[in-house]
Amino acid sequence: MRLSRYFMPILKENPKEAEIVSHRLMLRAGMIRQQSQGIYSWLPLGKRVLDKVNAIIREEQNRAGAIELSMPTLQSAELWQESGRYDAYGKEMLRIKDRQDRPMLYGPTNEEMVTDIFRSSVKSYKDLPINLYHIQLKFRDEIRPRFGTMRSREFMMKDAYSFDLTSEGAEHSYNKMFAAYLRTFDRLGLRAIPMRADTGPIGGKLSHEFIILADTGESEVFCHKDFVGFDIPGEHTDFDSVEGLKAIFDKWTSLYAATSEMHDEAAFNAVPEGDRLSARGIEVGHIFYFGTKYSEPMGAKVQGPDGKEHFVHMGSYGIGPTRLVPAIIEASHDDNGIIWPASVAPFDIVVINMKAGDQACDDTCELIHAALTKAGKDVLYDDTDDRAGTKFATADLIGVPVQIIAGPRAVANGEVEVKDRKTGARETMTIEAAINRFVA
């Protein structure tokens, strides 16, 4: 991708409205634009990161056996009247009328709709368990949308919904998502700690929030500090093994961890003082088990092996991709800008032409750009005629992990410089060596 033909509206000044570093950097790097309060466009650079985050979420959902579908953003009020949540949900729900004066709403979550899909076609326990998910926009008319896409009114959610015949089956489904979430956040370069949490308007008794520790987080959390070093379930985790997943769940819930709503001062004080972590955190995921809360009022039942009808046991599992992007930035930046983990970087490599128009520099950059692109890398080529200082600042700001810098002096020797964005380490090497390093 040539920067001269790309759309990346960089801001030179720090935007006044941004109170936290991720919001400031997302605006400065031209990743997002506010359209109205708490409603954002994702500009091309931001969209690339969001897509990579979603790709990882999707891979881990699929690995855990969840099945992707797509449900609409607009829902009919009728379904919510059936579950009893239409009146209960309150002012956070955006209620709309269509031209026939029928009450509609912009979905804040999809428990009702997915239960309706389920009940319309699944009739036997033989078709269970099932876990259906989608990655879709939601709307919640938050009183205090803030920090950019961290807490917005329109936001993206990966929401999965599991259906089981029994509560034991549902527990296994819960554990599958629990392990999948640990893997997902780890692949995004984050350490997320599952904490006992309040269930709020979703309901049920059992729930865990997945929390990233960050000073700018909105939640107050309390946990044992050993969680920071716990092992993440590996790529070959057997999601069908009931005992295996239970062991992962038990380990990750063996020590104290709770959000402020569920905090138990006495239990926390039982943790040795040096092991107590009392911090702020960002909630990036939240999982729930709520049994038959929706299946009963909505009549979602299947025939069991006993020939009788049983209301299905359900859980729901959310991740916020549009919150994860700023959460990753909160966890990984420096004074010069963003430092993307390789797994979600908008580009793998930026090639910086320090003297666009100079034949040797142009030829070298074209060659590197073409070779790395052919090798399947996402390459941004800064072919603009900006000053070298501006180009370096832009490359650091947008946080691409590797910079390949081609200046006239080095190029005359058949060399370029390779800079690691995270460490700042620079290495001079031949053009061929630079290409080979990333092609191999």
187 counts as binding ligand P5A under rule CB under 6 A? no
Q: Site map for ligand P5A, 89-128, x if CB under 6 A?
A: --------------------x-------------------
Nearer to ligand P5A, 116 or 283 (CB): 283
Rounded CA gap, 290 and 313, in Å? 7
Q: Which stretch binds ligand P5A (CB under 6 A): 44-52, 240-248, 254-262, 318-326?
A: 318-326
Confirm if 161 and 109 have CB atoms less than 8 A apart: no
Nearer to ligand P5A, 178 or 288 (CB): 288
Nearer to ligand P5A, 146 or 263 (CB): 146
Confirm if 118 and 130 have CB atoms less than 8 A apart: yes
Burial label for 188, CB within 10 Å (0-12, 13-18, 19+), is buried
Nearer to ligand P5A, 253 or 373 (CB): 253
Among 148, 194, 285, 337, binds ligand P5A (CB under 6 A): 285
Cβ-based neighbours of 312, under 8 Å, separated by 6 or more: 118, 128, 163, 164, 165, 292, 295, 300, 301, 302
| Interface with ligand P5A: number of residues (CB under 6 A) | 21
Tell which positions 195-254 bind ligand P5A, by CB under 6 A. 202
85 counts as binding ligand P5A under rule CB under 6 A? no
Rounded CA gap, 351 and 402, in Å? 9
Beta strand 402-406 pairing with 415-420? antiparallel
Nearer to ligand P5A, 127 or 198 (CB): 198
- 240 in helix, strand or coil? coil
Using alpha carbons, select from 232, 293, 219 the residue that is nearest to residue 259.
Answer: 219
Angle among Cα 353, 346, 180 to the nearest 5 degrees reads 155
Q: Which stretch binds ligand P5A (CB under 6 A): 61-69, 273-281, 314-322, 346-354?
A: 314-322
Nearer to ligand P5A, 282 or 435 (CB): 282
- Judged by the rule CB under 6 A, the positions of this chain that interact with ligand P5A are 109, 140, 142, 151-152, 155, 157, 159, 202, 283-286, 288, 316-320, 322-323
